[in-house]
Amino acid sequence: MTIGFQFDNNYARLPDRFHTRLMPTPVRDPAWIALNERLARDLGLDPDAMRASADVFAGNVVPEGAEPLAQLYAGHQFGGWSPQLGDGRAILLGEHIHDDRRWDVVLKGSGPTPYSRMGDGRTAIGPVVREYLLSEAMHALGVPTTRALAAVTTGEPVLREAGPLPGAVLTRIASSHVRVGTFQVFAARGDVAALRLLFDHVVARHAPDARTPLDLLRHVMSVQAELVSRWMALGFVHGVMNTDNMTVSGETIDYGPCAFLEDYHPDTVFSSIDQLGRYAWKNQPDIALWNLAQFATALLPLMGDRDVAIREATETLEGFADLYAREWRARLSAKIGLDDMDKGHELLAIMAEDRRDFTNTFRMLATDPHALGDTARMDDWLARWTKRCPDVDAMRNANPVVIPRNHRVQQAIVTAEGGNYAEMHALHAVLSDPWTETEYNASYRAPAAPGERVTRTFCGT
Ligand code: AMP
Ligand code: MG
């Protein structure tokens, strides 16, 4: 019985300065938390063989063909430059090929690396449960994202501020883990040869039609415009949009402090360390552009004459506003069933004033709009909106029934810390079908009661 990995490791073939080869650090007693059977089958893997191999997903046994390594990258964190980050608690096992597609297989929490700095290279069970639930929910909601294939406990405690917590390892799947910060690290070092190799690697993987760095910049702008507009349309607050957490693939990565809006307000921030609200819901498109400008800056050494390159890159970046506006228009129009941005923004303003639940308000608009008319202002908006015959099908497909509500995620984490994964599995099942009202998801649609509300999240380590 074999798991079925078919490794072909292009990143490992890049020169040594791109990564550090090393093995995951073995753990005492691997045991399953969750195995994503559906994803396993989609990747051509055998779930039964996986189930018999918790030791592989804990890093105790390295599968044949894997060439484990930690990737180097840098990044701007909250606007400040960190010249060397890198995988401090993650190890890329290799690139699995299935149906002509290439998938990174990464163990997260698999032990220290040369990039761990002060960290222990480990992950507590909480952040693993959180990433598993949130990333799989995002996928079901139609958002490009890294995926969660497996989660195991290690049988070893990790020490965190709260005291000792069960350790865990997540197996993350992604179309790649190349970040804006991967380009930045070589640009900062003046290593143009490495930049060129990285450019070729990324073009082959993500943008086969791109010929020039400007083509690649346009490609990443376009996938990021789509990505961030999808976040915005779901009320998702990423919380830590540092350039090391922005992929060039356009997949959401890093589920540390993220959360979904409940009562809507555009200034909402959840992350305890985002004190200035840099990564508030409403700022996400602007931050995406800021990060893309860092990406463009890192590409400049590949673009010939510097003055010309700066002018061309700047002109290209100026296109982001229109690109994003088009994506947002498509998303907001679908949410209200009308191609009318004024109407959409008026509704958001009413929702902010009344602190209405983001998800449930939009869903009700598609299913029972009259139930929303409980204020004069809302009544007036609804009357004008109804007259325009909104597209109910579009609305049902754009406004989900359930999202991972923070208090539910928190319950799943707290119970998992106590060794009970039932709530995690129930929540995962509910979130894998977020588009239909079912008896099963009824209790998951309700906003948190006042005593249950989670208003702060912490960068999971
Ligand atoms: P993040 O905030 O998750 O984007 O991580 C920022 C950097 O800190 C990355 O280089 C991580 O690999 C590193 N890091 C976070 N937690 C740990 C940990 N427990 N041990 C080692 N490195 C860590
Ligand atoms: Mg990160």
What are the tens digits of pLDDT across the range 411-433?
Answer: 999 999 999 999 999 999 999 99
Residue 313 CA, ligand 2 centroid: distance in Å: 26
- How do residues 18-49 score in pLDDT, each as one tens digit? 999 999 999 999 999 999 999 999 999 999 99
Residue 151, CA distances (Å) to 35, 49, 108, 127 in order: 6, 15, 10, 11
- Grade residue 457 by pLDDT with cuts at 50, 70 and 90: confident
pLDDT at 442 over 70: yes
The pLDDT, as a whole number, for residue 109 is 98
| Proximal ligand: closest to the CA of 117 | 1
Please identify every residue annotated as catalytic: 244
- The closest-lying atom of ligand 1 relative to the alpha carbon of residue 242 is 4
Question: What is the arithmetic mean of pLDDT over 141-162?
Answer: 97
Which residue puts its alpha carbon closest to atom 12 of ligand 1?
88
pLDDT at residue number 460: 61
Atom number in ligand 1 closest to CA 87: 12
In the predicted structure, residue 66 carries a pLDDT above the cut 70: yes
Taking residues 323-345, report their average pLDDT.
98
CA 146 / ligand 1 centre spacing (Å): 17
pLDDT band at residue 1 using 50, 70 and 90 as cut-offs: confident
Residues whose Cβ atom is located within 5 A of ion ligand 2: 245, 254
Distance of CA 326 to the CA centre of its chain: 22
> How far is the first Cα of the chain from the last one, in angstroms, to the nearest whole number?
34
The set of protein residues with a Cβ atom below 6 angstroms from ligand 1 is: 85-89, 115-116, 119-122, 240, 244-245, 254, 256, 459, 461
Residue nearest to atom 22 of ligand 1 (CA): 88
Q: Which ligand is nearest to the CA of 123?
A: 1
Output the DSSP codes for 299-338: HGGGSSSHHHHHHHHHHHHHTHHHHHHHHHHHHHHHHHTS
This prediction has a pTM of 0.97
What separation in Å is there between the alpha carbon of 461 and the centre of ligand 1?
Answer: 7
Q: 112: burial class by Cβ within 10 Å (0-12, 13-18, 19+)?
A: middle
Amino acid identity of 338? L
pLDDT digit string, tens, across residues 244-296: 999 999 999 999 999 999 999 999 999 999 999 999 999 999 999 999 999 99
